[in-house]
Structure 1
Amino acid sequence: MNSPTNHIKAYDEIIELFANGTSPQQIVSFKPSLESKKRVQELLQKNKSGSLTSEEEAELDDFGQIEHLMRLVKARARQKADK
């Protein structure tokens, strides 16, 4: 579960979401997989204890960027769904 490819899976989840011709409602209701959520929690715990490796720090940063992107996408999707 601690492989560097976990954050790639998080990107794949989002790519799949959009590649499948997603509606605004589907975007708004999107949630990351349990595996991704668990990995983020592991990384946050290690960060809190100061034991992140540089690779894990980069992975946590990637998850943060993904979360930021999805917040923006969901906000835009909500606007479109409300029209």
Structure 2
Amino acid sequence: MTTSVNTAKVYDEIIEFIAAGTTPQSVIDFKFSDAAKDRLEDLVYRAKTEGFTGNDQRELDYFLTLDHMMLLAKAKARQYISAE
């Protein structure tokens, strides 16, 4: 299940989302594209089963960093909503 997604495109998904304007609820509702999710799933699967190159490891680290950033943003957005 190898899906080729350039990590720059995942980064662009977040940039487009921010540039379009956000609200706390839209941050909570944000989801990566199916292609990005498929690529992340593929990288995690290969890391657990067959291993991969240093480039793949860097790509996985990049995805995980972006995912963590969005997780933190969603937590902050929930705080804003609960304070209203």
TM-score (norm 2): 0.88
- What per-residue deviation string (whole Å, max 9, x for no partner) do you get for residues 8-31 of structure 1? 111111111111111110000011
Q: Secondary structure at the match of 1:25?
A: helix
The two structures, once aligned, show a CA RMSD in angstroms of: 1.2
Q: Verify: 1:10 aligned to 2:32, yes or no.
A: no
Quote the sequence identity (%). 40
Q: Counterpart of 2:21?
A: 21
Q: Amino acid of the residue matched to residue 59 of structure 2?
A: E
Q: Amino acid of the residue matched to residue 40 of structure 1?
A: L
Runs of 4+ off more than 3 Å:
none
Q: Distance in 1 between matches of 2:11 and 2:81?
A: 24
Q: Distance in 2 between matches of 1:47 and 1:14?
A: 25
- What per-residue deviation string (whole Å, max 9, x for no partner) do you get for residues 22-65 of structure 1? 11100000111000000011101110123211101000000110
> Which runs of structure 2 are paired with 1:38-57 in the superposition (5 Å)?
38-57=38-57
